[in-house]
Amino acid sequence: MTRTLIRARLLTFHREPQTPDDTGAFTYIEDGALLVEGGMIRAMGGASTIKAEGAQIIDHRPHLLMPGFIDTHLHFPQTQVIASWAAELLDWLNDYTFPEETRYADPALCATMAGAFLDRLTDHGTTTAVAYASVHASSADALFAEAHKRNMRLITGKVMMDRNAPDALCDTPQSSYDDSKALIARWHGVGRLGYAITPRFAITSTPAQLEAAQSLAAEHPDCHIQTHLSENHAEIALSCQLYPDATDYTDIYARYGLLRENSLLGHCIHLSDREIWALADAGAKPVFCPTSNLFLGSGLFNDAKLRAAGLTNGIATDIGGGTSYSLLTTLAEGYKVLQLQGQRLHPYRAFDWITRGNAEALGLADRIGTLDPGTEADFVVLDARATQAMAQRMDRARGLADELFTLQVMGCDRAVVQTYVAGQQQKPL
């Protein structure tokens, strides 16, 4: 088995930083080294302390190496929907997104786009993703197969949707149950893959289909569940109209047993206090999608309020409502969304969030999200001087926090020097 010693400046978080002075929340090593073997991190520390006789050496100095970014919500079949001009969510879905997703009935397109999609993720430093496939089982098959080939950690699921969409994009309660069940049997727990039971949202599922999702969820407690919740006002009104017995939008999912610790709920913008407490009781995970929320004009995610209720929030790109694959750009827009609400996203917390924090939201913090020995060797190498504008800003940097904030506010894929998935470099040299 090849052993590789990677030299760089190293940064890894142990817990969420509480204040800008909370330097105990992370380890930063100026002259660091990582020993990687068999896709795992074997050792991490100062370069002089790591014994690595016979190891291949890769030297990324002076760049900064940290755990790979984790994207907790995006859509595989929306790669070519980004930047579609629409008034708001429901128009955007009907006019661009649903027509595009019908194309994923073609397994050849799915196979081609699966490779392109995973390339885009790693180009941008993302090493783990939780993605919606299309309604077609073959789209989930293609994405799983491609991720497996690359030994990449990926969670996905075929979307369940049986109404309020073009016929070509509708399954049935029974077929969605059968297809999801077969995909779980084929892929869940295979290598680094996991299945997410994926009812798209209440508008596109009949009560009978949410019952099917409920059965799947009960039969597979270790599968994630992903759906959308409380993204915009028209969506909320229609959802409540379609489920008149439910107390509110959140209660629709609660009634069908879809709220639990491994439930990922995209958006969660306009929740009432009752809904926030219901999510907190269930331990479900809201997911903040800032570029999407700004692009579609959906609203401002209230991170502090949800956290005060004890919720653990994920952060994600939501491609293709989102406008960038970059979790750096996502942090930049997240910073602005919070700033508008008098909340501040310090770079220590920001970089913890897209690494260890998102891993914790997924229940995977023992495997990904840090540089801890014994975890999977997924990481990203960053250059805060990647552009002239960034280099000029960096000439005034006073330390690590300034470097991270430059990456957070000005960074994109140009700042990603290299991405490692299970110890293997993903970007062409």
Count of residues that bind ligand GUN according to CB under 6 A:
11
423 binds Zn ion (CB under 5 A): no
- In the list ligand GUN, Zn ion, none, the entry touching 292 (Cβ below 5 to 8 angstroms by class) is ligand GUN
200 binds ligand GUN (CB under 6 A): yes
Q: Which stretches of 228-272 are DSSP H helices? A: 233-242, 249-255
352 binds ligand GUN (CB under 6 A): no
> Where in 283-342 is the site for Zn ion (CB under 5 A)?
318
201 binds ligand GUN (CB under 6 A): yes
Sole binder of ligand GUN in the list 290, 321, 369, 423 (CB under 6 A): 321
Q: At closest approach, how far in Å is the CB of 231 from ligand GUN?
A: 5
Whole-angstrom Cα distance, residue 119 to residue 147? 10
Give me the helix-helix angle, 107-123 and 137-150, nearest 10°.
40
Cis peptide before 62 (omega within 30 of 0): yes
For 335, list phi and psi in degrees, rounded to 5.
-55, -45
Beta strands in 203-313 (DSSP E): 224-229, 263-267, 285-288
Sole binder of ligand GUN in the list 89, 170, 404, 407 (CB under 6 A): 89
Whose CB is nearest to ligand GUN? 321
Nearer to ligand GUN, 97 or 138 (CB): 97
CB distance 257 to 225 below 8 Å:
no
Point out which span in 89-97, 163-171, 188-196, 278-286 binds ligand GUN (CB under 6 A): 89-97
Residue 136's closest CA among 165, 155, 161? 161
Beta bridge partners of 160: 199
Q: At closest approach, how far in Å is the CB of 229 from ligand GUN?
A: 9
Nearer to ligand GUN, 50 or 203 (CB): 203
Nearer to ligand GUN, 97 or 323 (CB): 97
List all residues 6 or more positions away from 381 whose beta carbon is below 8 Å from its beta carbon.
8, 60, 63, 64, 65, 416, 417, 418, 419, 420
Q: At closest approach, how far in Å is the CB of 35 from ligand GUN?
A: 41
Residue 94 has a CB neighbour count (10 Å cut-off) of 14
Nearer to ligand GUN, 204 or 375 (CB): 204
75 binds ligand GUN (CB under 6 A): yes
Nearer to ligand GUN, 228 or 346 (CB): 228
Q: At closest approach, how far in Å is the CB of 169 from ligand GUN?
A: 11
Whole-angstrom Cα distance, residue 369 to residue 67? 5
266 binds Zn ion (CB under 5 A): yes
Nearer to ligand GUN, 44 or 74 (CB): 74
Q: At closest approach, how far in Å is the CB of 342 from Zn ion?
A: 27
CB distance 87 to 36 below 8 Å:
no
CB distance 220 to 188 below 8 Å:
yes
Whole-angstrom Cα distance, residue 186 to residue 189? 9
Binding site for ligand GUN (CB under 6 A): 75, 89, 93, 97, 200-201, 228, 231, 292, 318, 321
Binding site for Zn ion (CB under 5 A): 266, 318
